[in-house]
Amino acid sequence: MGDYIVNESKSAFIAIVGCPNVGKSSILNRLLGEKIAIVSPRPQTTRTGITGILTTEDNIQLVFTDTPGFHKPKTKLGEHMVQAVDESIGGVDACLFVVEPETELRTAEQELLCRLKQTKAPVVLAINKTDTVKDKAQIALLIVKLTQLCDFKAVVPVSALRGDGIDALLEELKALSAPSIHYFPDDTLTDQPERVLAAEMIREKMLLRLDQEVPHGVAVSIERFSERDDADILDIDAVIYCEKDSHKGIIIGKGGAMLKAISTAARKDLERFFEIQVNLKCWVKVKEDWRNREGLIHNFGLDG
């Protein structure tokens, strides 16, 4: 049967972990094929923790998350990392662990590896900056050595600087995806913090108005965010995902009153922020496997 399903929809949530400066952002940029503003000046992008989304031609959506805790001060680094890792890798499908081609793992990396082992998520190890190593045999030795430390799904030497090994790395990451819907529109780009921001604004309006139990299972996906060519109007289509039919009813409200109140308030906010007239359309959908993703979504800060 599988023979007839060519490009089945798949996805994977992947946490990129590793010490600062090892090249996590550079690798992500390479994977996404373009230079993107990972460290955005807008705090909104970092709040969600989603740093990059790649939807491949073969219908696989890879959602990358960063580990914010890693950028925190050096005080009690080990403890910090453990905590940060717990928070950011809980519920992901896989981890991409990035190291530099050093002869030994750093203490912090050893601790991180311990933690990664405890989670059930498969780990792909990328040895970055291979361009800095003249003797390639040294890298082969390093691979052998690191392979003994953990049952990595794959160990891939790369150079984000040169682009070496990135295709091979992408193949390994794609192999970690599982049949699933795509959680973001396929054209979602990481350099669109405005989409994230718009979603946050809408979600905020729901939090203000709805009973506590409803917003908990709610997420907002911006399906369209486009400015018209012929007018100064920004068209935003948003889908509000909830867990249950009963929640859907509450969000829509009597005669659509609640949804209208939410979208009117959100539209005003959006107009003020983007300084343009906004045409906001909101839909409410029940996402069946939403509950399974709840922990994950929570980690992304999408549920407040």
Residues forming the site for ligand GDP (CB under 6 A): 18, 20-26, 128-129, 131-132, 159-161
The minimum distance between CB 169 and Mg ion, in angstroms, equals 16
State the binding partner of 139 from Mg ion, ligand GDP, none, CB within 5 to 8 A by kind.
none
List interacting residues with Mg ion (CB under 5 A).
Answer: 24-25
The minimum distance between CB 21 and Mg ion, in angstroms, equals 8
- CB closer to ligand GDP, 113 vs 280: 113
- CB closer to Mg ion, 17 vs 121: 17
- CB closer to Mg ion, 19 vs 219: 19
* Structure tokens, 43: 């705090």
Residue 206 near residue 264, CB atoms below 8 Å: no
- CB closer to ligand GDP, 159 vs 299: 159
State the binding partner of 23 from ligand GDP, Mg ion, none, CB within 5 to 8 A by kind.
ligand GDP
Please identify the residue of the shown chain whose CB is closest to the bound Mg ion: 25
- CB closer to ligand GDP, 48 vs 263: 48
The minimum distance between CB 77 and Mg ion, in angstroms, equals 17
Residue 302 CB contacts under 8 Å (≥ 6 apart), including other chains: 48, 199, 203, 219, 220
The minimum distance between CB 189 and Mg ion, in angstroms, equals 18
State the binding partner of 161 from ligand GDP, Mg ion, none, CB within 5 to 8 A by kind.
ligand GDP
The minimum distance between CB 167 and ligand GDP, in angstroms, equals 15
Angle, alpha carbons 300-174-89 (nearest 5°): 30
Phi, psi torsion values for 106, nearest 5 degrees: -70, 160
Closest CA to 94 of 56, 65, 70: 65
- CB closer to ligand GDP, 160 vs 176: 160
The minimum distance between CB 24 and Mg ion, in angstroms, equals 5
